[in-house]
């Protein structure tokens, strides 16, 4: 049987392998999932929660081992790899309880009618997940899909199959056969799954692939949930705390080697403070140790592979040729390493200001005032996240209100309180995740109505 080998992006050494799922087996997997779905749905939200809750302790206990494997497979620092697994396990029980609430029927009444709003499974869900958070991103899709009463086939990224397999093994240990399956492979397996007789496709990845999935799903009107690319802006107002803004910009531009859907990819800085901000940003970049994720003190590991690094290097070279100034970083080391880079003098005529980079690059664009910052920040087809830093919170909030993004942070990142959705606007999203509203994206709303007894008559 053919196997998919996973390599350490730091040194190119093999980490492990999994069997590739033959394309002609995908339809049989869907059939098994469909056969298992009625009994799984019949358990109801609380029964499904009880079948899944044992995974919490398994994930926490396995966090060190799976986190190390994740780091070796994808490159992120070990503390972040272990933390990703442990955080998923620690939050599982609270998430399950929230999902019971999301999928429990609600009663709506008026003078004449009693209606029950149900949130039922759609059937079989195909979940296609990325490599940048290879344990937590499957969880965002698989868990609500299962709790809604669907059965699930997960296709993890071919870059991180070992972590995807570990997730399925840990979550699915107590589940009936056919409820949760995994398909390993690359484009061929993903396309076969999209084309199969599934009822819902949940995907996180690039805008281009999302567009192709949407087109393929249109023929059967298959439900879709898409979290796509981003080109997130950070607006730094002239009254911002420069040191705090620079620290955040460095962390959010370079974390996970810039391979985060809400990485800061464009920084609009008022020219009145731009020189101070750029100096502080370069200083922060210089503090970030680059190296193998298992080494002490490393804050930036390698990029996921040399192809992704080559894309970033091409964007950097093109920006410099067009007049941007590279103030630090951009050097390519062995393996897939890339030193964090700061570019000043970036304009919207440059590819690096318009197309997703997904690498450790901070692009600074100087602006004359708040209006120019908002106009340029919104000059993109994307709309996942956006951030504003400013001293006057009312002014910063007024700027935030004008930014066309699904999530906006003021003097902080975009993540909201527990229970709020993770949602993109424009071409960054179709449907969304998290919170009760996000969980219900994985369900079919059904309204069952009965007439109420007329006054004076016995029911």
Catalytic site residue from 125, 261, 265, 363: 261
Tell me how far apart the 2 most distant CA atoms of the chain are, in Å: 84
Active site annotation includes 355 = no
* Ordered alpha helix ranges (H), 287-421: 306-321, 370-377, 393-401
Distance in angstroms (rounded) separating the CA atoms of residues 305 and 7: 9
In 65-110, beta strands by DSSP E: 106-109
Question: Tokens for 89?
Answer: 């396990």
What's the gap between Cα 279 and its chain centre?
31
Distance in angstroms (rounded) separating the CA atoms of residues 137 and 210: 16
Assign 3-state DSSP to the chain and report helix, strand, coil percentages, each to 5.
45, 20, 35
Distance in angstroms (rounded) separating the CA atoms of residues 63 and 365: 40
Residue 388: strand pairing partners = 235, 410
Active site annotation includes 261 = yes
Question: Tokens for 378?
Answer: 């919104």
Exposure string for 292-317, b = 16+ CB within 10 A, e = fewer = bbeeeebbbbbbbbbebbebbbebbe
Catalytic site residue from 73, 98, 227, 284: 227
| Tokens 């994985």 found at | 442
Q: Is 67 exposed, middle or buried (0-12, 13-18, 19+ CB in 10 A)?
A: buried
Sequential DSSP letters for 418-455 = TT--B---GGGEES-BSHHHHHGGGEEEEEEEEEPPPT
Residue pair 155/104 in contact (Cβ under 8 Å)? The answer is no
For CA atoms 306, 309, 315, 316, the dihedral sign is negative
DSSP β-ladder status, 232-236 and 385-389: parallel
Distance in angstroms (rounded) separating the CA atoms of residues 228 and 107: 35
Catalytically active residues, by annotation? 227, 261
């Amino acid at each position: 049987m053919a196997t998919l080998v996973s390599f350490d992006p730091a040194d190119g050494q093999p980490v492990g392998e999994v069997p590739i799922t033959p394309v002609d087996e995908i339809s049989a997997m869907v059939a098994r999932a469909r056969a298992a779905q009625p009994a799984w749905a019949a358990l109801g939200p609380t029964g499904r929660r009880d079948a899944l809750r044992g995974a919490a302790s398994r994930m926490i206990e396995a966090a060190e081992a799976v986190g190390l494997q994740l780091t070796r497979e994808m490159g992120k620092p070990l503390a972040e790899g272990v933390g990703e697994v442990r955080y998923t396990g620690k939050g599982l029980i609270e998430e399950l309880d929230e999902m019971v609430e999301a999928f429990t029927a609600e009663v709506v009444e008026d003078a004449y009618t009693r209606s029950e709003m149900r949130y039922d499974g759609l059937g079989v869900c195909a979940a296609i997940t990325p490599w940048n958070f290879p344990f937590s991103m499957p969880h965002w899709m698989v868990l609500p899909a299962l709790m809604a009463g669907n059965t699930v086939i997960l296709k993890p990224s071919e870059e991180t199959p070992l972590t995807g397999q570990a997730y399925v093994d840990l979550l699915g240990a107590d589940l009936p056969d056919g409820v949760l399956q995994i398909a390993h492979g690359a484009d061929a397996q993903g396309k076969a799954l999209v084309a199969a007789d599934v009822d819902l496709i949940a995907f996180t990845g690039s805008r281009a692939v999302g567009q192709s999935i949407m087109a393929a799903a249109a023929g059967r009107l298959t439900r879709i949930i898409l979290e796509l690319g981003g080109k997130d802006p950070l607006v730094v107002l002239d009254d911002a705390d420069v040191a705090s803004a620079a620290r955040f910009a460095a962390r959010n531009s370079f974390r996970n080697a810039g391979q985060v859907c809400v990485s800061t990819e464009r920084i609009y800085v008022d020219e009145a403070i731009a020189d101070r901000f750029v100096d502080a940003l370069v200083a922060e970049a210089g503090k970030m140790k680059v190296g193998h994720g298992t080494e002490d003190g490393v804050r930036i590991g390698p990029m996921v592979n040399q192809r992704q690094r080559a894309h970033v290097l091409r964007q950097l070279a093109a920006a410099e040729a067009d007049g941007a100034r590279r103030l630090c970083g951009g050097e390519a080391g062995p393996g897939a390493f890339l030193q964090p880079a700061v570019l000043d003098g970036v304009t919207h005529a440059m590819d690096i200001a318009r197309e997703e980079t997904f690498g450790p690059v901070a692009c600074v664009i100087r602006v004359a005032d708040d209006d120019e910052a908002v106009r340029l920040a919104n000059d993109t087809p994307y709309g996942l996240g956006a951030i504003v830093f400013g001293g006057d919170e009312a002014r910063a909030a007024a700027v935030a209100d004008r930014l066309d993004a699904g999530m906006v942070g003021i003097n902080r990142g975009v993540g909201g309180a527990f229970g709020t959705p993770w949602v993109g606007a424009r071409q960054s999203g179709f449907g969304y995740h998290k919170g009760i509203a996000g969980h219900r994206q994985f369900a079919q709303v059904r309204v069952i109505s009965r007439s109420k007894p007329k006054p004076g008559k016995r029911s």
